[in-house]
Structure 1
């Protein structure tokens, strides 16, 4: 049963993340490291985080084949995510093998050739949409990999002006260019062009310094980058840079900075997704579901929403993998600040 009122729709991939378990070692010869399978992927992470925060959220995803597919669905459902829009696909589920750096930052090895996530059609998306869309969040690999990226771009074009459009490039360089990217039909010019089209129609863009390092390798001034991106079409750009202050840019206004909460970081998997979910949940709760309402939102109210979103991301980083907090956990952490 669909909730009353505007719904947050999240569109993208479902990925099984294989995370290392360092304490188990790698066997006597160092050749058998242990991994645990966890649900992941930009869209699933965003939807789950929003669901745990109490947002009415529907996940538009193509559920591939394999023994872990059912766990992906169950993970979403346990967090209150509406999975009625799942497409039962014949292609396999995507898999990412994750390595962790000393600071908790992830490195990915992807096994995604021919996966279900990139095969969207216009008819599938038309059937998946609920009656009332308050916001549509798209991004990551499915938004810039054909053939499905074309259908996603057309959906964004159709909903532009009717719902808040949110875009997160979430670049994965291995899949965007080079031999692996080429096997998916991706290269730097085509991926950049597809993202340019989405960003020009977006109302909200969440972009990371890592994304910019690939999209604009000559960029060194992140303030200038945030300002430039806000002139490309979005009403709001949020630029993340690990634990450094967030940059918040709006057309015709100075770039604002916001400190991220300090926490003991276990890893940063899903941090950006959690931040996006926290911000979208806050915007939806305040009735900010159009470009005009976002543009007219006072800085004081916007920064309060950004602070909450940053806290959601920080709490996610205190746990293994993408494991965002619930609404009650966020409230408790907010009270402790």
Structure 2
């Protein structure tokens, strides 16, 4: 069990998101679009969103080389995130170049060969994991890319076996890095990534997964049935997102519940899933739900209230450019206005 005041610990990658500037001149030849560098990455986004909601949150990350690295640390710290778990790394920072569709959905290109994020070792993780960790969130690229993904899986297995913390997993598949030439260069492929995710999901207490993730994983058909099946694989709670469609919430042996998501004017959806995960985990921590038994005994009404708040956090994030989740005051104001 956690020692001291319980905290949310987020473990994963730091990514510099290169986002296009809307309406900016594309250059005389139309070949030089303007981009702005913004902090990103699943783990950083989740930690920042939780920090802005006033959660006690630690971010464990390997901070790579290059001029943009210090900005990632500062972004987290300014949002109330404890960055004492950052490891100084010799490898480069990951970069994502993002295009936006007409509906605000992102299209990613990555510059990540040899990046710092998936080079974790067992010794590094043992050194930086806070003793007060009550919830550990892992996911995305660092969780299914070797060699660091294997060290993360061993940590998850140990905490699960000890009952030392709730485990939260978000696959957050990035197809370019999970398969194809770039994925192969990282040692990834469909079968490899599926096996690594199966290892994590089997030991997870909370899983947040998107319909896009499931499609890449080869899961097709009725999403309600899929949610029920995934809830039977280990987690006590499954949150299944599907763009603007209702959020699906599944618990083992119970009917799947649909919750409408708030309607907002969407600027883009970058970081929406990360914000939802952060909102939900923050709610669990605030409610004192830090054990598997407490999570399983959580009433349906309370669970749905937490899920609704998480969906509102994600919706507010979508009203701004990039991953820019709301503060506690902004969430409270939006909740009061509903």
2:47 corresponds in structure 1 to 47
1:82-126 alpha-carbon deviations (Å, 9 max, x no partner): 000100000000000000000000000000000000100000000
Deviation at 1:31, TM superposition (A): 1.0
1:204 corresponds in structure 2 to 206
| 1:189 and 2:191 correspond | yes
Q: Distance in 1 between matches of 2:293 and 2:108?
A: 38
Deviation at 1:150, TM superposition (A): 0.5
1:153-211 alpha-carbon deviations (Å, 9 max, x no partner): 00001111211100000000110011010000001111000000000000000000000
Q: Distance in 1 between matches of 2:291 and 2:164?
A: 7
Deviation at 1:25, TM superposition (A): 2.2
- For structure 1, the 5+ residue unaligned runs are none
Q: Distance in 2 between matches of 1:25 and 1:257?
A: 43
2:108 corresponds in structure 1 to 108
- Tell me the C-alpha RMSD between the 2 structures: 0.9
Deviation at 1:4, TM superposition (A): 5.0
Give the match's secondary structure for 2:202: helix
1:279-318 alpha-carbon deviations (Å, 9 max, x no partner): 0000000010111111100000000000000000000000
1:55-85 alpha-carbon deviations (Å, 9 max, x no partner): 0000000000000000000000000000001
1:56 corresponds in structure 2 to 56
Q: Distance in 1 between matches of 2:222 and 2:110?
A: 31
Q: Distance in 2 between matches of 1:232 and 1:279?
A: 20
Q: Distance in 2 between matches of 1:105 and 1:159?
A: 35
1:237-285 alpha-carbon deviations (Å, 9 max, x no partner): 0000001000000000000010000000000000000000000000000
1:224 corresponds in structure 2 to 225
Q: Distance in 2 between matches of 1:90 and 1:24?
A: 35
2:242 corresponds in structure 1 to 241
TM-score of the two chains, using structure 2 as the length reference = 0.98
Give the match's secondary structure for 1:201: coil
Q: Distance in 2 between matches of 1:24 and 1:236?
A: 43
Deviation at 1:130, TM superposition (A): 1.0
Q: Distance in 1 between matches of 2:22 and 2:46?
A: 27
Deviation at 1:216, TM superposition (A): 2.1
Q: Distance in 2 between matches of 1:194 and 1:25?
A: 43
2:175 corresponds in structure 1 to 173
1:140 corresponds in structure 2 to 140
Q: Distance in 2 between matches of 1:268 and 1:134?
A: 29
1:155 corresponds in structure 2 to 155
Q: Distance in 1 between matches of 2:286 and 2:105?
A: 31
- Write the mapping of 1:239-318 to structure 2, written as runs, cut at 5 A: 239-318=240-319
- For structure 2, the 5+ residue unaligned runs are none
Q: Distance in 1 between matches of 2:291 and 2:186?
A: 34
TM-score of the two chains, using structure 1 as the length reference = 0.98
Q: Distance in 1 between matches of 2:157 and 2:110?
A: 30
Q: Distance in 2 between matches of 1:309 and 1:97?
A: 27
Q: Distance in 1 between matches of 2:260 and 2:169?
A: 22
